[in-house]
Amino acid sequence: MDMRRTGQRLVGLIMLLVLTACSDAVAPMARPAPAAISQEAESYFCSAMSVLEHDGPKGQVLADAQATPLWFATVRQTVIYTMLPEAPADPAAVYVSDLAAAPDWRQPDHTAWVDVRDAWFVVDTGLMGSDLAQDLLPFSDQSRAEAFALAHGGRVLRLDDLTEDYVLYYGTVSVAADGSVSPATP
């Protein structure tokens, strides 16, 4: 009888240890906070240029929790980077400027960030980013994004609505084989 009870206790202890180990293994890592922009924050696609030399919303990608962020002069460039094969498949965080409280989209608050997955993007506004293409204008608040779209034109999309073709050719035109021209759309 004592052997049986000892065996049951041992099995119970092993199950408890396995469950504890599993719960620790799948616990999500805390997302690192957005970094502060400084004059030394160089644009990933325009090396040797500070992102602060460009108007409009910015982006940052943190490959892992301890990483120095990769900076982007536009939100469009930030999203494009996440689609590249050399980009980390699951970065620790991707943040974009939050225009919800900005009085002017060209001058965002450099301390206000929103996770790219939580943002509402105003697109098709005709407003050009620093890379001479229409930028994706991010808001943390859907109603503010909709109000901006109503005031400036455009529509509101989520990150999952932004296809690779749309982001790469956003604000540009497509020329068909017959010579007809049409805007790029998601």
Region of 137 (left: φ > 0; alpha: ψ -120 to 50; beta: rest) is: beta
Nearest to 61 by CA among 30, 87, 40, 85: 87
In the chain, the percentage of residues whose pLDDT exceeds 70 is: 74
The set of residues, in sequence order, having a beta carbon less than 8 Å from that of 135 and lying 6+ positions away, is 56, 57, 74, 75, 76, 127, 128, 129, 171
d(CA 69, CA 67): 6
Check residue 126 and give its pLDDT: 82
Check residue 5 and give its pLDDT: 58
133-178: pLDDT as tens digits = 788 999 999 999 999 999 999 999 999 999 888 888 766 555 566 7
Check residue 153 and give its pLDDT: 93
Q: Which residues of the chain carry a pLDDT beneath 50?
A: 11-13, 16-17, 19-20, 23-24, 26
Contact status, residue 134 vs residue 152, Cβ threshold 8 Å: no
Check residue 69 and give its pLDDT: 95
How, if at all, do strands 137-139 and 120-123 pair? antiparallel
